[in-house]
Amino acid sequence: MASENCLVANDWVCGKYLRNYRHELTDATLQHLWITAVSVAIGLLVAFPLALIARRWRLATGPVLAITTILYTVPSLAMFSLLLPVFGISPSLVVTGLVLYSLTILVRNILAGLESVPADVTEAARAMGYGPLRLLFGVELPLALPALMAGLRIATVSTVALTTVGAIIDYGGLGNLLKSGIDSNFRAQVLAASVLCVVIALLADALLLGVQWLLTPWRHKGRGKQRGTRRMTDAEKVATP
């Protein structure tokens, strides 16, 4: 009986809330996932060429890193207010703000990963006839993947948290439930939305860690030998003495 009256008692843990409001929770979760995924994907597409520019032209490194860092320091409310005249009240406003926030993490990690590739490896690749594009995608990027994926994981978890700020314009995913729950002192809703945010962040981080494991087989090739031979990647061929 107590569990049936948890909504009336405004308990923090309430199974009846989960049953009665499952559609609202599902819709908010899907919106949260969509905004996060789109923001991180666009952020990666923008950060990659910026990192390449910063690496190719040293004079551009300082300005690129400075601008992305300044963007990250802008408070979210101010960021959304500055973007409002351009995008209006729409999901694009939230996505654009989150993309700008992700750039400082992604650009720095991509750049750090590319710069960590040993010079003798790139020289060996060029001696083997690798052109610029094949060198980048076949050798340098695979070797830079640990740093790149580390940045992607941090940016993703950060974006999961920042997405909730979109609730100020009603496009915050689970943040919408958090805001309305706090405004109305609806404890079960606040707790459920908070827990779901944490779960999304943990699952996203675990998923990206698994992707990194799959994309960097040479980092655990000792175990792979026990299962049979496999085709070596370009990065392994060049990096292996």
pLDDT of residue 197: 96
How far apart are the two ends of the chain, measured CA to CA in Å?
71
The Cα 156–Cα 184 span in angstroms is 30
Residue 229's pLDDT band (cuts 50, 70, 90): very low
**pLDDT surpassing 80 at residue 2:** no
The Cα 194–Cα 178 span in angstroms is 7
Domain at 26-219+230-239: CATH architecture: Orthogonal Bundle (1.10)
How is the chain split into domains, by residue range?
Answer: 26-219+230-239
The Cα 193–Cα 191 span in angstroms is 6
Q: What pLDDT, in 10s, does the model give residues 158-199? A: 999 999 999 988 899 999 999 999 999 999 999 999 999 999
Looking at per-residue confidence, does 30 or 127 come out higher?
A: 30
Residue 237's pLDDT band (cuts 50, 70, 90): low
Q: What pLDDT, in 10s, does the model give residues 42-75? A: 999 999 999 999 988 888 889 999 999 999 999 9
The maximal CA–CA distance of the chain, rounded, in angstroms, is 77
Q: Which two tokens stand for residue 226?
A: 């026990």
User: Which residues lie closer than 8 Å to 222 by C-beta, 6 or more apart?
Assistant: none
Residue 227's pLDDT band (cuts 50, 70, 90): very low
